[in-house]
Chains A and B, each alone.
Chain A
Amino acid sequence: MLAKRIIPCLDVRNGLVTKGVKFADNADIGDPVAMARYYYEQGADELVFYDITASNERRGIMLEVVSRVAREIFIPFSVGGGLRTLEDMRAVLLAGAEKVSIDSGAVRDPKIITEGARAFGSQCIVLSMQVRKTGARPGLESGYEVVIDGGRVFTGRDALEWAYEGARLGAGELVINSIDRDGTKAGYDLEITRRISESVTIPVVASGGAGAPEHLRDAFTRGAADAAIVASIVHYGEYPIPELKRYLKGAGVEVRDAIRLEVGAR
Chain B
Amino acid sequence: MIAIVDYRAGNLTSVKRALEFLGHRCEITDDADKIRAAERVILPGVGAAGATMENLRALGLVEVLRRDVAAAGKPFLGICIGIQVLFERSEEDRADCLGIIAGHVTRYPGSIDGRTLKVPQIGWNRVRQTRAHPVFTGVPDNTHFYFVNSYYPVPADPGVAIAESGYGVQFVAAVASGRVIATQFHLEKSGAAGLKLLDNFCRLEF
Contact = CB atoms under 8 A, between A and B. Distances in A.
* Same assembly: yes
Interface residues of B, number: 43
Contact of B189 (A1, A76, A173, A256): A76
A-B pairs with the 4 shortest C-beta distances? Answer: A265-B23, A256-B144, A2-B123, A261-B192
Contacts of A260: 192
A74 B124 contact: no
A61 interface: no
Interface of B: 10, 13-14, 17-18, 20-23, 46-48, 110, 116, 118-126, 138-140, 143-144, 146-148, 166-167, 188-196, 199
B34 to A, nearest CB: 22
Contact of A2 (B47, B124, B191): B124
A75 B146 contact: yes
A156 B195 CA distance: 47
A211 B24 CA distance: 42
B135 to A, nearest CB: 14
Interface stretch (A9-17, A93-101, A128-136, A230-238): A93-101
Contacts, number: 110
A94 B9 CA distance: 11
B144 A264 contact: no
B152 to A, nearest CB: 14
Interface residues of A, number: 38
Contacts of A201: 110, 116, 118-119
A93 B192 contact: no
Nearest to B149: A123
A72 B123 contact: no
A120 B148 CA distance: 13
Contacts of A202: 118, 122
B194 A74 contact: yes
A258 B20 CA distance: 22
A227 B22 contact: no
B14 A98 contact: yes
A45 B194 CA distance: 13
Nearest to B47: A121
28 contacts: A1-B126, A2-B124, A70-B14, A71-B17, A74-B21, A74-B189, A74-B191, A75-B146, A76-B146, A98-B14, A121-B46, A121-B47, A124-B46, A201-B110, A201-B116, A203-B118, A203-B122, A256-B124, A258-B191, A258-B192, A260-B192, A261-B192, A261-B193, A263-B192, A263-B199, A264-B21, A264-B195, A265-B23
